[in-house]
Amino acid sequence: MVDKIKLAVIGAGSSYTPELIEGLVKEKESLPVGEIAFHDVDAARLEIMAGFCRRFLHHLGHEIPIAVTTDLRQAVEGATFVDVQIRVGGNAQRVLDEKIPLKYGVVGQETTGPGGMMKAFRTIPAMLQIARVVERHNPGAWIVNYTNPTGLVTEAVTLHTRAKIAGLCSGALFPRWRVSEAMGVPEDSVRYDYVGLNHLSFAFNVTVDARPVTDEEFDRIAEVAARGFMDPAILRNLRLIPSPYLQYYFHTSKKVKELKARTLSRAEEVLALEQEAFAAYSDPACDTKPEALAKRGGGGYSEIALDVMKAIYAGREKTIIVNVPSRGAVKGLPDSAVVEIPCRVNAAGIVGLNVAEVPKSVWGLIAAVKNYEQLAVEAAVTGSRDTALLALLAHPLVREYDVARPLLEELLEANRDYLPQFFA
Ligand code: G6P
């Protein structure tokens, strides 16, 4: 029996918080949480979410006291895990990340391309601040990060602080969901090798109950995994299951056209969904997850977080896909390069497992995007416009100087209030 722990949730005003609460209740036997501290810079959202989560816990038949604070140190002190899920500038800034690149014929997306870079620029300084508080006041704690872009955020934290961090994304479960659906088998019978970066990952060597899938079965998986994102012929040819975000690389022009044709960008849709969700959360009679939450993209959010916490704290060692510095696991990338790979997670921490071979067909793409990511992390920390420009020149979705330069200027200007490092 393990002792009860404290969990800190930074960015607790996020509409995803109830999913985490639900996960905690589901796992209450294996990970007994005796205390939760909610922190957010938005005191109003924080109060609403705390009120709702108390009712939700009660509805689920489980009581955990939720303390609310806007003092980071207070939230972090004594916590075994510090769950971080912040969005600097909110979805309002995300609208600009998605729309401005489109004016230049470039993909506009939350995490992929120049939009993701701007999110990294806004987020990394705040994330480093959180990590430094953890490092100073509770160095034994693990940061469990869901803040996007999770790969870049994790790389910044591991480069510039000694805080322990697990960079997570529910996207790592995507191949499992699709294989299970295509084959009609339980999710836990599915295994695969996996390599790449966050939102630039590939699953391969798929097995079901330890039996490699046949070519015919893979073709069926390809149909299901590509659905709504890309041409299944790509998967059949690669013999890989790419993250859905590869649609922006394999169908770039088509996606730019589709994004331009939308009446509302995804962030505008999310703003409306958030309004709906928060109206429900504010209602003192509401004690179940609002419908609007199911229309968000972060399904499976708490599953990996809980798996990581159980493996580290409760002796449930497991191989889990996490964003970690490569440290030799992916040959040819710098040791500091954060990669999304299967890791051995246990009480001793998180160690990336060696990737025997990165598929040749996508090696160049992974290396190029990693190159962009490393430059973007450097620019986020130093506030150097020159480095930011180099990052866009290295990005396969931008690359052209004549596009990158004015695009960068406009993006920086649109983010002026959130980027003191670039406007000092
Ligand atoms: C997926 C991705 C997340 C992303 C989310 C967007 O879950 O893995 O990284 O943040 O989708 O969902 P949204 O509802 O905000 O568009």
When pLDDT is cut at 50, 70 and 90, the band that residue 299 belongs to is confident
> Ligand 1: which residue has its CA nearest to atom 8?
171
Q: Is the pLDDT of residue 2 over 80?
A: no
Centre a 10 Å sphere on the Cβ of residue 317 and count the other Cβ atoms it contains. Answer: 14
Residue pLDDT, tens place only, 318-357: 999 999 999 999 999 999 999 999 999 999 999 999 999 9
Among candidate residues 27, 336, 423, the one with its CA nearest the CA of residue 152:
336
> Per-residue pLDDT tens for 245-296?
999 999 999 999 999 999 999 999 999 999 999 999 999 999 999 988 888 8
Which pLDDT score, from 0 to 100, does residue 424 have? 85
Give the DSSP letter string of 15-56. TTHHHHHHHHHHTTTTS-EEEEEEE-S-HHHHHHHHHHHHHH
The yes-or-no verdict on residue 62 having pLDDT over 70 is yes
**For ligand 1, what atom is nearest to the CA of residue 296?**
14
Phi and psi (nearest 5°) for 42? -100, 100
The predicted model gives 66-93 an average pLDDT of 98
Handedness of CA 266, 297, 200, 134 (dihedral sign): positive
| Segment 157-198, tens digit of pLDDT | 999 999 999 999 999 999 999 999 999 999 999 999 999 999
Average pLDDT over residues 47-62: 97
Whose Cα sits closest to atom 5 in ligand 1? Answer: 297
In the predicted model, what is the mean pLDDT of residues 62-69?
Answer: 97
Tens-digit pLDDT profile for residues 125-143:
999 999 999 999 999 999 9
Instruction: Indicate whether 43 pLDDT > 70.
Output: yes
| CA 94 – CA 85 distance, rounded (Å) | 15
Q: Which of 147, 170, 177, 243 to mutate to test the pocket of ligand 1 (most atoms within 8 A of CB)?
A: 170
How far, in Å, CA of 375 to CA of 377, rounded?
Answer: 5
| pTM for the full predicted model | 0.97
β-bridge mates for residue 66, sequence order? 36
What's the mean per-residue pLDDT of the chain?
97
Catalytic site includes residue 16: no
pLDDT at 35: 97
pLDDT of residue 1: 61
Which protein residue has the closest C-alpha to ligand 1 atom 6?
297
Residue 300 reports pLDDT greater than 90: no
Q: Three-state DSSP class for 121?
A: helix
CA angle 301, 304, 309 (to 5 degrees): 120
Q: Per residue in 208-246, pLDDT tens?
A: 999 999 999 999 999 999 999 999 999 999 999 999 999
Best of 296, 301, 322, 323 for a ligand 1 pocket test (most atoms within 8 Å of beta carbon): 296
Report the pLDDT value the prediction gives residue 258, as an integer from 0 to 100.
98
The C-alpha angle with vertex 109 and arms to 322 and 102, in degrees rounded to 5, equals: 155
Active-site residue identified among 245, 249, 281, 313: 245
